[in-house]
Structure 1
Amino acid sequence: MSTPRPAPTRLQLFGWSLALIGMAVPSYVLLATLLTSMGLTLIWLGFPFLLGLLALLRKFTNVHRRRAGWVLGTEIEKPYRARVPGHGMYRRVFDMLTDSATWRDVAWLFVEIVVGSALAILNVALLLGGIAHITLATWWWSLPADADVNLLGALTVNSTATAIFVGIPVGLLYIAIWYFASPRIMRAQAWLTASLLAPTEAARLANRVQQLTVSRADTVDTQAAELRRIERDLHDGAQARLVALGMSLGMAEETVARDPAAARELLAEARAASSQALAELRDLVRGIHPPVLADRGLDGAIQALVLANPLTTHVDVDIPGRLSAPVESAAYFAVAETLTNVTKHAEAGKAWIRLTYDEGKLTILVGDDGRGGADASGGTGLRGIERRLSAFDGTLVVSSPIGGPTVVVMSVPCELIAAE
């Protein structure tokens, strides 16, 4: 079970308030330049600026989503429609502008500049005001001799003595108010952010439909490619071996009477061809659904996979039961493909694999101590794994800084099957 994230302390909230105040000016600049770029789309110049600013806006709002979720103790999802690969600049700008989440981001900028900043300023002012009142007597000497400070609209401070007897109680009052109000003020600010930046039910449903559409298309493409691979392997491998076997047997039948020695050689070639055909058929079956997976389950299949791999690999499997055959197959091939990528490209000395099942989700972690730099969008290996898992609503996340280590985390929602 995942450990809940601790709630932020008041000092952490104070620091976030300072950050929000500091980001008020960049927010205003971003809003102004964004609106200007929208106007400039009447000429070509506005499109590249608008594309860059919209991407920057999304990164900016993602920061606020994470921090608001941190304050509220929850996770705020990204509401944007998935990007369609292959679209050019104009189409990407159009896709962003027709996404309702973009306009909610723009509306949030307006609200954040005014209301959000005001709440952050209030949180900072209460604490700093309390400190200033408590320490008023220490810097009273720097004020003019005839200084007359009015506190709370009713209390007057005109000397060091009154600064002590009046300033300290007022300062303590301010700090007490800050102590009790600070979490509520910042939760109000976070709630304001979440109300505008979290996906609406309509957006969540639309995104879900789009994900299912893309997942279905990927699954169809993957299955078609798999069928083509099986057909090619049968045609170029076992079928060719069986044809050669038939030819050898035919020639042996013709020569057995007049040249028994040549017939024996042909029969030996036929036997070798049959052995090779059988081996290729076995390899083909393993590529479709390994027998070890059906016999020993996912744990045993992963262990067998690691034993056949030249890289030193530590395996830790904590799954309290069997998963459905399609999920086990997808998980097995995802681990196999990831481990193959590590062996070929990572230049690693060791790797580790961990499989856990918790709260209806299978989590697979594959890591290595190699050179890093892996990118799911930069090749077909990780992208193929992602497409395979997407058929089960699975996800793939890659952390691979230059120099390593690389960690690939795959998650698949699934259920354990009842033991027979």
Structure 2
Amino acid sequence: MLTKILTRGWPACRYLYARYLYGMVALAATPIGLLLSWAIPGITAGLVEFANAERDKATRYLGLPQEQPLPRAVPRQPADVATLVKDRSFRRSLRVLPMAVLAIPGLFVATIALFGAPSGLLSMFLWKLQPGEFSLMGLPVHNWLDALLLGPVQVAVSLWVLGWGAPLAAKGYARSIRSLLTPSSAELETAALTQRVEELTRTRAGAVDSHGAELRRIERDLHDGTQAQLVSLAMRIGVAKQLMADDPEKAAKLLDDARDGAEQAMTELRGVLRTMYPPILQDRGLTGAVAALTARCPIPVDLRMGALGDVPAAVEAAAYFVVAESLTNITKHSAAGQAEVHLERRGPDLYVAITDNGIGGARVGDQPDLLGRGSGLRGMMHRVEAIDGHLELTSPIGGPTTVEVILPCGS
């Protein structure tokens, strides 16, 4: 019986003591915090995080599943009082402060539960040292009759508080915290929409940057390659036209050179177009295009593909370029001896994974990775995020490196 009481009461008392300590710290920091919160945005964010932490602890104590936390505090500039006042998460998190006051009665309950029985037993036997100075049930003990009557009562009351009173108080406090700090469906929806807008703004900005870089690359390729070939071709044809009457043999040679130049220009132009939307995707689909990529790779590639179903053209192009860029990175940078490409349909999404057994250390970023290599993964991420996909890179030093991409294909 005593074990059961302790099992029920000790977690409740620990929870009530912790809430009191945290609450007193919060109350002590409130005056200066509220004065400075208008100027220091981090204080607002900290209060929201504290409210979420208190709600999480209440949820764990009650043994309930975790729910969505309060949305993060709205980003704002110092002295932006209007945004501070309109921030629903900040206003709701303020409710944690009056709850800290309610933790004070919880402290008394926990104290009675833990120390009532031991102090009752001690007072029953030590009252004779100083008669009238010891008390039981709040009454002074002057004789054995008082000790033998009031002592067991205090022990029994304390054990009841430990086994039932403290858990009731702790559960009541935890339920109140959850009720006061649980965001409404409207708040969650607004936060989700705000987060979605931020995500779309970020990914679209990355897509625009990537698209701009791609356009500059295409322009550079056309200017330095195809355009130069066409200019040279036009000049050769012009010279051949002038020499046609006087030196037909030399004119014929120039026309032969012009024909070779035209073929070379067409080859370079096809190469540029292939980087925009590979014709092989149109001819052989994603399955055949990826198979061709793996077949041309200088290192052995294990290709595993499931049934892909209908894949939108934009998703096909993104998946193709992810595989192509990954295999290029593996060939140039990884020192790998083998690679693996895995494509499959997972419900409404296309899953792509490329793994190699190289030296690892790849990073997604504009700067070189840990080994000083430029990985080119930033552009790949922009391409994936532009169609609401997700890319995850795992590449510890020493390998292996895995690029996993999830691309939404719709319903």
The equivalent residue for 1:284 is 272
Structure 1 residue 202: deviation in Å? 3.9
SS in structure 1 opposite 2:126?
A: coil
- Alpha carbons of structure 1 residues 65 and 188: separation in structure 2 relative to 1, 3 Å: closer
Q: Which residue of 2 aligns with 1:35?
A: 34
The aligned counterpart of 2:95 is 111
TM-score (normalised: structure 1):
0.61
Q: Does 1:374 align with 2:342?
A: no
* Structure 2 equivalent of residue 414 of structure 1: 409
RMSD of aligned alpha carbons:
5.7
Q: Structure 1: give runs of 5+ residues left out of the alignment.
A: 1-10, 42-49, 84-91
Count of residues in Structure 1 that have an aligned counterpart in Structure 2: 379
Gaps of 5+ in 2: 1-9, 128-133, 139-145, 369-374
- The DSSP-based 3-state class of the residue aligned with 1:415 is coil
Separation of aligned partners in 2, 1:55 and 1:259: 83
Q: 1:203–1:137: structure 2 CA closer, same or farther, 3 Å change rule?
A: closer
Report deviation, 1:287: 0.8
Q: SS in structure 2 opposite 1:293?
A: helix
Q: Deviations over 1:161-199 (max 9, x none)?
A: 959x94897388439x85x99889756645544417994
Structure 1 position 170 matched with structure 2 position 160: yes
Q: Which amino acid is the alignment partner of residue 235 of structure 1?
A: H
**Percent identity of equivalent pairs:** 31
- Structure 1 residues 11-410: aligned runs within 5 Å: 24=23, 34-38=33-37, 41=39, 50=40, 53=43, 71-76=64-69, 78-79=71-72, 93-94=77-78, 99=83, 103-115=87-99, 140=121, 145-146=126-127, 166=156, 170=160, 173-174=163-164, 178=167, 189-190=177-178, 192-195=180-183, 199-209=187-197, 211-212=199-200, 219=207, 222-251=210-239, 254=243, 258=247, 260=249, 266=254, 269-310=257-298, 316-318=304-306, 320-337=308-325, 340=328, 354-365=342-353, 370-372=359-361, 374-376=363-365, 381-396=376-391, 409-410=404-405
**How many Å apart are 1:211 and its aligned residue?**
4.9
Deviation at 1:323, TM superposition (A): 1.4
Post-superposition CA distance 1:118-152 (Å, at most 9, x none)? 689969x88x988889xx6899569853477659x
Aligned in 2, Cα 1:26/1:295: closer, same or farther, shift over 3 Å?
farther
Q: Which amino acid aligns with 1:360?
A: P
Alignment check: 8 A CA contact 2:343 2:350 kept? yes
How far apart in 2 are the matches of 1:400 and 1:245?
48
CA distance in 2, matches of 1:101, 1:377: 38
Q: Once the two structures are superposed, what CA deviation does each residue of 1:77-127 show, in whole Å capped at 9, x if it has no partner?
A: 84566x8xxxxxxxx62598665699444445433354379689969x88x
2:389 partner amino acid: G
